[in-house]
Amino acid sequence: MGKEKPEIEEKDRVLVTGRPATHRPDNKVVTSRYTAATFLPVAILEQFRRFANLYFLCVGCIMAIGYYTPAFDSAINPWTTLGPLGIVVSFSLMVEASADIKRHKNDEETNNATCVILRRTEELEAEEGAERDEEMADGKDVVVDVNTTYMRAGDTAVDNRPEKPKGDSARISFQKVRRMDILQGQIIVVKNREMVPADMILIASSSENGSSYIETSSIDGETNLKLRTSPHLPTKLLRHLKHGTPMDEMEPIAEGDEDDFSGGTETLEEATRRVSRFSSLCLPKGVCVLRNPDYKGVTTLDDAGNDGGDEEGMFSAFKPHMVEAVKKYTDKDVPVDKNTKYVATLTSEPPNPHVNTFTGKMTLPPVEENGECWDIPLGAENILLRGAVVRNTEWVLGLVVFTGTDTKLVRNSFETPSKFSQLDKLMNQTVLLILMLMAVIISYLSTQSVVTTRRKFDHLWYVGLNENTSEPWPYLPDMDAPAWVPTQKNWVQMFFLFITLLNNLVPLSLYVTVEFVTYCSLFWVWADLDMYCDQTNTRAVARSTIITDLGRVEYIFSDKTGTLTQNVMRFKRCSVDGMMFGSPITKSKPGADEAPASEFHPLKRLLVGNVKLPMASGLQGLGASSGEYEIKADKKLTLNAEMFIRVLALCHTVVVEKDYDMKKKKAEDGGKPAETAPMVLGGPQGPDGAPLGFAYQAESPDEGALVSAASKTFGFQVITRDSSGIRLCVKCPSHLRDPAIVSALKDGSKTLLSLAASSATNIDYSDSPDEEVEVVTEETWEILAVNKFDSDRKRMSILLRAPSELGSLPVLFCKGADSAMLDRDVCTGLPAEDDDAKLAQRAFSRAAKAIETQLYIVGATAIEDKLQVGVPNTIATLENAGIKLWVLTGDKRETAVEIGYSTHVLTDKMHLTQVPDNGEGHVRTQMSMEFIRLVKLGKLPLYQRSIVDEEEKMSWTSIKFSLGKCYRAFTRSLRTCFYSIFFTLGIWKDWAEGKLEIIKEEEKGEELLVPDRVRMKRVRDRADEVIKDWLKSAEGVRQRRKSAHQSHVSVDDAASLASEEVPRVFSRATSARNMLSSLSVEGGLSQNERRSLSLAHVTAANASRDDDGPIVDEDTLSMASFFPDPKAKTRGDFDRRKRTLLERLFAVDRDVRKGKLMKHMNSERLATILEQQQHGPGINVPAPHDGPRALVIEGAALKHLLGDPELEEVLFAVASNCEAVIACRVSPKQKALLVGLVRKKVIPEPVTLAIGDGANDVGMIQEAHVGIGISGKEGKQAVNASDFAIAQFRFLESLVLIHGRWDFFRLSTVVLFSFYKNAVMVGCIVVFSGQTIFSGTPLFDEWTISVLNFICGIPIVVLGLFDQTLSKEYVRKHPETYHATRDNETLSMRMRARWVLICFVHIFTIYYMSVNPHQYGGGYTSAFDGLMASGFEQIGDGEGGDHKSVGLVAYTNVVSVLALKVLFEGKALVHGHWPAFTCRKDVGEGFFSRVAYTWHGVIWGTFVFYIFFISVYSILGRGGPSPWSDFVEVGRHVFTTRVQTWLLIMFTPLVAMTFDVVFKVFSNMFYPTQTQLHLEIECNQRLDRTLFERDMALSSRQSQQSQQVRSEVQL
Amino acid sequence: MPATKKDDDDETVLSLSEQTNRPADVALNQQRIAAWHPILDPVWVIIALFYLGVIMVPVGFKMQDLSNGVVELRKTYDSFDDPNLRECGINTTYNARRKCSLEFIATQYMEPPILVHYELTNFHQNHRDYYQSRDAYQLYGRSSLQQTSLEASLCDPLNKLGNVWLNPCGLIANTFFNDIFTLESGQDAEGNTLNLIEKGVAWASDIEFKFKQPDGFAMEACENPTPNNINADGTTSTSCDPDCCLAQTRTDDTAGLTNQSWSCSEPAVHPDDGKCYRYHYPDEEITQYLYETYPDVVNPLEGVTNEHFIVWMRIATLPTFRKLYGYFNEPIAKGSRFTIQVEANYVVESFKGSKSIIISTNNIFGGQNPVLGRTFIVVGFICIVSGLFFTMKHWLRPRKLADTRYLHFKED
């Protein structure tokens, strides 16, 4: 189990109740990954699936082969690579092992927990070691008298009926088993507060009607209690089962009770008896009822399948294959005859991971002669899933459906697919690149080696090369010839040798370092106080390692409910009888109508009804009759008000949990809820607004808010609610107590509408005297049917029967979204037809839409969902950081826009384009117009005519495109050949065929692939075409006539050009033309072209064509180019060519206005801008001249655009130009789809971030690069799917701007440095190999090579942990600094080129300054004579030109250059406090904060560690010959005997860093990066804060002045 | 509105005792550790560059001066390339024992210690096959016969010639530079005879930790330890009494060896004390020992501990290299002449190289080394030039630090 996949079974399953299905998996669940035997092989294999480990293993193996076999030589000892690799791998293995041991322990605990099942006593007693549970039923058996009658296949005549064997009984006992031994088909008992051990069908419980409450927090994270019910059995059947009497002997059922579902409460014994009566427990030889020839399910499959288009498919579940299944698994050999006893059978869906659905049916045998089998439908409300906890119920009996790996919980638990960050991708790409580079270098060196050796072959005798193998060794001429090597090593041998020599070019430490730094970054996230929510005691949690992607976010997709808003619902306002109650509306949207506060009344006034006001004009649709009217001041509710409150109190699916507070005190007491005196109005309240002692567990918070409001504010308190009814405690008198009203309603003589009108205008009911007194009454409303809320209907309804004292009227209450309700004229009301209980079963659900009609609206509610704290600020900050925000919400457009304004997603300055769903043509045209408009404004330069119409030229992109095409075609053909061989040979035919199919599909996709330019042209043409078509259509023509200066589709286009844009087209055109002439003077434009651009002419023609005025904007102008207008003479001139020019002009003009092309600016504007710049404050944000844009689009409208590749591109081109996009009325699926489309369609692929809190955001969260879950109220599903979990939306600022940004800088530096580090070392080796006839001698000692990763890994890790590119405060103040990471500043081509360049410079610096001085011989130096006597014993000790010494000098230089380079790469040198050991009382300054992480400590620590390593290594060889003896005492000689060495060691890093600094300063002077500028600004601020503040004061005064100047200019 | 205000106050912050999950507010966790945020201010960089240049160039010149102050006398006495420099050329004959005298004239007053190096060119000691061709265990005294296959493979192709084991094996040991330099004549500044000291030219640590006579080697002073310095023909040389090896007179058996096993044909004079010793090498019959390969250079009593050999075994980094042969510990006056006799045994023609003898004094940085000073000067000039460049730029078109004009706010 565990990893292995459970048997795939797509067909429905059949279980015989009470009979364990031994062929199905048992209930053992294994989450551990390894066993003791498999751990080593499997875990090690797993380790070597990582690229780096595999690489070094391969290299190590190559080295070992070279070292121990004569095939080729290894340049260095294999253990220098295998050793460190072993350390790294064994560390990972240890981590893995400890985690798995933990899992093993957990598994054991879970699997060995005990559980109680029902068994036949004789079986139990026969079985050895079976243990009886003593607690259940006091350890006694339950005796069931088996009634044979109903078990029979009653298809025969009466005389065939056998004698009823009296006293035939079965004994059932309770067995205690381990949880893992539970099998499907068994019946188990679960007690209160126990975990359900396997998925089971609830068949009985201690509660009324066999219902049970469960808590499912470990499944979906929702903490509210949920009601689960036993399947509803028809009364007949139920009675039979209960009493065990045959049908014909039973007393006839009373007429009224026929539809009585309620089984009442049962004891455990009773329930056991009832349940086992139809199971194999009583009838061990019973046959599966499905084989009953009378069973209609089998024979009339098609009929069942077409049963009125049943959506649930409950009854169509039985399919032909079932017959086989039945035969296969149940009673294989038992023949069916007339005397066969049948047992109940469960048919269920196959195991699946969907925790919220279940379909199945229970088939019970007929209970009477010629009776039919009973098919009891089962749904999700009948199933208890493994992992759920039984609550508020003493015990439950369940039939196990799925066990072990079949359970929904196990099926649903999948490891979230690991995401790769962009940095990971870059790392892998770079490693690949380095491998290729390595191949090139190695090939070069090998070739050089072969060539040079061949050239010098004759005089290389001293390395053992000689063609004449009989020649004696020169010094030993009298002896036999040595084993000369007559030929040099061949190319391949040298290739492998150099692989071993240069393997370190791929840094072994890279992955380890990056992983370590990443994990620490995750710790920083977790430990950040800024992201700690002190209201919910929640920290931010990082669940995935893709932290660097946080630094590159371009798009944020946000859910609304629970993310931007708190999802804490408050009943704010309501409207009944045309009057508004509650607090007044405050303005959120600019220009929104503000209702006068005087029109609102306190909520409590609703109960009084003595309000006298004219009806609010806006609410005339809400049912009440129009006109002015009065309500009598009689302290009575109107009928409408009463009904309104009743809807609140009754129409819901809330679960009432009693003694909420008492439960808190003693949690173990979970028995029957104590009867608490109902608290009423004004009483103390529980934490969720419910009265004390009650907790309303609502599925959605707004439902809870409504119920709480009814209970708390209006005095209609819900006391209990179960599947059968709702008990209310009512403080107010009811209109329904009046029999006249009831009867009038019953006979239909009066409608509710008329009654309400009359009650509102004050009549009859107020006379009854007893109602003058405030009486608290309790009433029980019987639930006939619940039609649950679903997102399609957007409403729920409930069918209730009023208590008898209220006339037993059946009432349908309905509530829902206003659009859904008003569309159908629904809000709440009474049914027109008489109730029919049977309707409630499934006909009801099917007929839901039909029933919820002709309803009467009693009122409207307003629930407020408050914004989360800090949302508007966060959104503004993120917007300043250049992140585009998409809000994806299920709300309607108006709400979405409102929320948009209140959260600052939308701002006043934004040009808002709303795309409602009003037809395909409309939506498409609107998007196309918007697209073209943006093109004309120059915002989408790639789609301009000048670009798309340009001739296809040979460019790098086109070459790349065709090369790619060729390459793919080539690989495809190769693969086709490969798989065809298998296919023709017939080996693995299916597999090969599948692969061939895939290739064919790829081929098809290839055909669709076109070069970018062609694609863009198509898109542009398509958009033009859409607009043209629309203009030709009738609607278009009408619109055009209507207004020329307004845009043709969207209503708000008049505002498309922000008011600041003073120069209108004419002036702009003039300036543009001036510019054009200046261009043509320079020779850029021919005379002809210039003449053809009769711009003024065009615009004038357009202007005169319409009477609406001379204002002609770009849109109109562009419109004019689309439709062929016979009157306009400009048509001939205005061809495509000119349009292109026009577009260019607009773009240029726009640039001028934005201040980009200063020399074309008119003088005043230039003056303004210059002034701004000179006197500007620290950072001078230029006012946006082109208004930002926003798009509001409906989900339904999206459907018209998605699916068409060109229109999709139009959509995303437009959307990518918008600062904010709000998509409203989108489904969860559409959310994910949108994220995916943005990833795919926006080029280059942007990094996307999705944030949400609910299960409906899971798709989106997983689809985005970075998924963030709000660990809030709606459960854990979003969090479980997310990469990061934060408690509030506002923490996104910290997460993205601070952590994401820092970590991107840190990790990209770490990665770059890791590559650089090894490149420097290997570079020196490569340069040196030229001195050794390319024989492959390493410059450095082989063991020192292998420790470079450790030594130089330390400082870079410290940088990765502590560097701070700009401080938190600065970044918060200037979110625009985020551009740098988003634009990939540290990893840009320029930066990477700089790293490569500096790498080369450093290689040559180190090499020439370490090696070359030694060609003159080190020589004895007199300086240390006597100074370092210890290291200097004889004159030869001063010699230092040998290979080991020079290598060590060079290596020391490498180490010091690298350590210093780290220092220069860090933007903040963390030094803690100095001096480090003072005991200054500084809050929160721990010892580690002060000392351990100082840069000095790290840099010098690195050196100290290095010297320590060298000393130890130098000593190792003292003990005699060993792998290290070559190095014995080398360290001492190098460091203690020569001044020259020290000169080189100190001087080389200085020179190297000088080059580095020169490069940096050069770069900063000429091409400063944005981050560099910000660093300088921040530095200035730090240097002189007071000066800065003075500047600020000064500049603010000046900016005021300049604003004045500007406004004057504008005037 | 009071009602709404009350609603807004719902954001109840948990009391501190309930905030069990609250992260610690320490500088480390909150990433608040004090830090220095340095900026590469061009002005400071320019100043630093000038300083660096101004310091480095003079220092470089001074170092070149120092280097030039070193007196270096050099004579290439055999060269493949230049027939003029073949004063002592021996073509292809190994162990030719061609003797020639090289006369040196001190151009300056020479301070002791005056080092005598030999220099080889175009000899790739650093060639990988050459560089690893040794058996560290064997050099430390273990017998050739105990070589493992790995060590043997390292010594390839010189493990065994025919049936004879080589000890030490390998290419390095068997291409030992065996020219012999002896001071023929010469006087120090005080008029005393110069003395070429050949002791102490190797690393002390190498002698101690890396080279040992083979296990089983034994030596014993002769009964008559004083060598007779007069040969039969009247020439002076040192030789011992050959009877010492036969040792009939000796009865004590210090090394556990019988008299027969003192296998030497003649006893040897120990270079240190000048006494005669008889000696024993294990497996003498089937082993070619170092003293047998280079009888003129290596004393059988020293074997692999011969310092010239140890110097040779320390691999040179570059194909042109110097190795220390000996030194004078007396000053030499300017203009004084001294002659070194070379016994040429080492063939350079076979690797197209040359050999020279270099006699030089030292300064603080060692011998004459023009590279150091040159590097200083070049780097110093680079500093000054780049400093000038930056100054020009900064002067003519400065980019003010923290200039907000370069910030671009919104991408379009």
What are the extents of the domains in chain B? Answer: 50-70+363-396, 218-280
Taking 60 as the threshold, does the pLDDT of residue A1094 lie above it?
no
Taking 60 as the threshold, does the pLDDT of residue B317 lie above it?
yes
> What does the pLDDT read at residue A1087?
46
Highest mean pLDDT among A158-162, A1487-1491, B298-302: B298-302
Q: What is the pLDDT of residues A287-322, one digit of tens each?
A: 777 777 666 654 333 333 333 333 333 333 444 555
> What does the pLDDT read at residue A1478?
40
Instruction: Please tell me which residue, A866 or B198, carries the higher pLDDT value.
Output: B198
Closest partner CB to B204 (pick from A479, A1437, A1518): A1437
Evaluate the omega torsion of the peptide bond into residue B157 and state whether it is cis, within 30 degrees of 0.
yes
Instruction: Please tell me which residue, A339 or A921, carries the higher pLDDT value.
Output: A921
| Window from A937-946, A1323-1332, B153-162, B370-379 with minimum mean pLDDT | A937-946
Highest mean pLDDT among A50-54, A115-119, A728-732, A803-807: A115-119
CA distances in angstroms from A848 to A315, A796, A844, A852, listed in the order given: 19, 9, 6, 6
> What does the pLDDT read at residue A47?
82
Give the gap in angstroms from C-alpha B279 to the nearest C-alpha of chain A.
23
| Window from A804-818, A1140-1154, B16-30 with minimum mean pLDDT | A1140-1154
Highest mean pLDDT among A501-515, A727-741, A1183-1197, A1487-1501: A501-515
Give the gap in angstroms from C-alpha A927 to the nearest C-alpha of chain B.
20
Helix, strand or coil, per DSSP, at residue B318? coil
Q: What is the pLDDT of residues A346-370, one digit of tens each?
A: 888 888 877 777 888 888 877 666 6
- The answer to whether the CB atoms of B204 and A1436 lie below 8 A apart is yes
- The answer to whether the CB atoms of A1415 and B1 lie below 8 A apart is no
> What does the pLDDT read at residue B76?
92
> What does the pLDDT read at residue A1141?
56
Cβ pair B169, B144 in contact under 8 A: yes
State the pLDDT confidence band at A413, using cuts at 50, 70 and 90: low
Taking 50 as the threshold, does the pLDDT of residue B165 lie above it?
yes
Q: Summarize the confidence of residues A15-43 as an average pLDDT.
A: 81
Helix, strand or coil, per DSSP, at residue A378? strand
Q: How far apart are CA A1032 and CA A1038, in angstroms?
A: 10
- The answer to whether the CB atoms of A464 and B133 lie below 8 A apart is yes
Q: Summarize the confidence of residues A1235-1254 as an average pLDDT.
A: 85
Can you say how many angstroms the Cα of residue A808 is from the centroid of all Cα atoms in its chain?
A: 50
> What does the pLDDT read at residue A330?
54
ipTM value > 0.90: yes
> What does the pLDDT read at residue A851?
62
> What does the pLDDT read at residue A582?
75
Mean confidence (pLDDT) of chain A: 72
% helix, strand, coil for chain B, step of 5: 30, 20, 45
A1583 touches B at CB < 8 Å: no
Taking 90 as the threshold, does the pLDDT of residue A377 lie above it?
no
Burial environment of residue A823 by CB neighbours within 10 A (0 to 12, 13 to 18, 19 or more):
exposed
What percent of chain A is predicted at pLDDT more than 90?
9
Can you say how many angstroms the Cα of residue B32 is from the centroid of all Cα atoms in its chain?
A: 51
Taking 60 as the threshold, does the pLDDT of residue A235 lie above it?
yes
In the 3-class helix/strand/coil scheme, how is A1159-1201 assigned residue by residue?
HHCCHHHHHHHHHHHHHCCCCCCCCCCCCCEEEEEEHHHHHHH
Q: How far apart are CA A859 and CA A571, in angstroms?
A: 13
Taking 70 as the threshold, does the pLDDT of residue A1220 lie above it?
yes
Which of A792, A788, A831 is closest to A810 using CA atoms?
A: A831
> What does the pLDDT read at residue A306?
37
CA dihedral in degrees (A461, A462, A464, A470; nearest 10)? 50
Closest partner CB to A479 (pick from B30, B161, B201): B161
Cβ pair A621, A628 in contact under 8 A: no
- The answer to whether the CB atoms of A1436 and B202 lie below 8 A apart is yes
A478 touches B at CB < 8 Å: no
Give the gap in angstroms from C-alpha A1509 to the nearest C-alpha of chain B.
19
Instruction: Please tell me which residue, B307 or A311, carries the higher pLDDT value.
Output: B307
Give the gap in angstroms from C-alpha B242 to the nearest C-alpha of chain A.
25
Query: Phi and psi at residue A1531, in whole multiples of 5°?
Result: -55, -45
> What does the pLDDT read at residue B51?
92
> What does the pLDDT read at residue B386?
93
State the pLDDT confidence band at A1398, using cuts at 50, 70 and 90: very high
| Window from A521-535, A1319-1333, A1566-1580 with minimum mean pLDDT | A1566-1580
> What does the pLDDT read at residue B231?
58
State the pLDDT confidence band at A440, using cuts at 50, 70 and 90: very high
- The answer to whether the CB atoms of B26 and A1333 lie below 8 A apart is no
Q: Summarize the confidence of residues B187-204 as an average pLDDT.
A: 87
| Window from A416-430, A1066-1080, A1509-1523, B339-353 with minimum mean pLDDT | A1066-1080
> What does the pLDDT read at residue A1602?
57
A42 touches B at CB < 8 Å: no
Instruction: Name the residue in chain B with its Cα closest to that of A1339.
Output: B317
Taking 90 as the threshold, does the pLDDT of residue A443 lie above it?
yes
Instruction: Please tell me which residue, A1594 or B346, carries the higher pLDDT value.
Output: B346
Taking 60 as the threshold, does the pLDDT of residue A1005 lie above it?
yes
Instruction: Please tell me which residue, A806 or B383, carries the higher pLDDT value.
Output: B383
> What does the pLDDT read at residue B26?
77
For chain B, the residue count is 412
Q: Summarize the confidence of residues B134-139 as an average pLDDT.
A: 87
Instruction: Please tell me which residue, A1463 or A161, carries the higher pLDDT value.
Output: A1463
Taking 80 as the threshold, does the pLDDT of residue A238 lie above it?
no
| Window from A273-277, A1165-1169, B241-245 with minimum mean pLDDT | A1165-1169
Closest partner CB to A1411 (pick from B317, B319, B405): B317
| Window from A126-130, A1356-1360, B90-94 with minimum mean pLDDT | A126-130
Taking 70 as the threshold, does the pLDDT of residue A806 lie above it?
yes
The encoded tokens of residue A1593 equal: 């004061």
Instruction: Please tell me which residue, A1055 or A383, carries the higher pLDDT value.
Output: A383
Q: What is the pLDDT of residues A517-557, one digit of tens each?
A: 988 899 999 988 888 888 888 888 888 888 888 888 999 99
> What does the pLDDT read at residue A109?
87
Q: How far apart are CA A1313 and CA B110, in angstroms?
A: 50
What percent of chain A is predicted at pLDDT more than 70?
66
Instruction: Please tell me which residue, A1252 or B35, carries the higher pLDDT value.
Output: A1252
- The answer to whether the CB atoms of B157 and A1565 lie below 8 A apart is no
Q: What is the pLDDT of residues A1278-1315, one digit of tens each?
A: 787 888 999 888 899 999 999 999 999 999 999 999 99
Taking 90 as the threshold, does the pLDDT of residue A444 lie above it?
yes
For chain A, the residue count is 1611
Amino acid at A831: P
A1361 touches B at CB < 8 Å: no
For chain A, the straight-line distance linking the first and the last C-alpha, in angstroms and rounded, comes to 80
Residues of chain A found within 8 Å of residue B366, distances taken between Cβ atoms:
1416-1421, 1438, 1440, 1538-1540
Taking 70 as the threshold, does the pLDDT of residue A1027 lie above it?
yes
Instruction: Please tell me which residue, A698 or B210, carries the higher pLDDT value.
Output: B210
Cβ pair B277, B222 in contact under 8 A: yes
State the pLDDT confidence band at A335, using cuts at 50, 70 and 90: low
Q: How far apart are CA A200 and CA A406, in angstroms?
A: 12
Taking 80 as the threshold, does the pLDDT of residue B2 lie above it?
no
> What does the pLDDT read at residue A243?
66
State the pLDDT confidence band at A681, using cuts at 50, 70 and 90: very low
